Amino acid sequence: MRHLLIAACLVLAVGCADSHHLIQDNKYAQEKVSPDGTAYIARPADGYYGKIHYEGSGAMVAQMLQAALLDYMMQVDISAGWEKYPAALKAARRDGYTYLFFPTITHWEDRATEWSGIPDKAAVRLVVIDTASGRTLSVATVEGTSGLTTFGGDHPQDLLPEPLKEYVDQLFQN
């Protein structure tokens, strides 16, 4: 009986744990970003899952990325609204930013995990551009999946701050 109780506790503990991943695109040599530069974050389009629109998710992603970047840079601004890549690069160049951060929500799934056993999921592709040259400095995807026993507390946006910070840390550290 005691072994069954221990096994149940282990399953519950593992089920509670969120998982996070940072996947670097090795086609691009990840170059370091200078803390002396300035950053323009293009607000991504909101996430969808099937026909479900997660209003405000694009703004949340941009704000989480801004928070991570502000640990290293003095000026990090977010676009006023959603922009396609050409418009974002043009705006970043026009306003004299050193870097364009272009996030894209590739997966956003908010589930009633505590009832369904289906985890929340979020994934964001991040592209960093040197605005002067238009050269891609880094491409990566951050992903998060909730544990199976969330007790109603997790949402996709709760899964991203840690992998976003890990990615930003790598951009600035030697």
Residue type, 41: I
Share of the chain above pLDDT 70, in %: 76
State residue 121's pLDDT score: 84
Question: pTM above 0.85?
Answer: no
Taking residues 133-161, what's their average pLDDT?
76
Higher local confidence (pLDDT), 65 or 2:
65
Domain boundaries, the chain: 2-172
State residue 103's pLDDT score: 98
> Could you identify the residue written with the tokens 């909730």?
146
Higher local confidence (pLDDT), 112 or 35:
35
State residue 155's pLDDT score: 59
DSSP the chain: -HHHHHHHHHHHHHHH--EEEEEE-TTS------TTS-EEEEEPPPEEETTEEETTHHHHHHHHHHHHHTTT-S-EEEEEEE--HHHHHHHHHHTT-SEEEEEEEEEEE---HHHH-PPPEEEEEEEEEETTT--EEEEEEEEEE--S--TT---GGGGSHHHHHHHHHHHH--
Task: Give the CATH fold of the 2-172 domain.
Answer: Rossmann fold (3.40.50)
Average pLDDT over the chain, rounded to an integer: 82
State residue 53's pLDDT score: 84
Share of the chain above pLDDT 90, in %: 55
Taking residues 79-88, what's their average pLDDT?
96
Higher local confidence (pLDDT), 122 or 18:
122
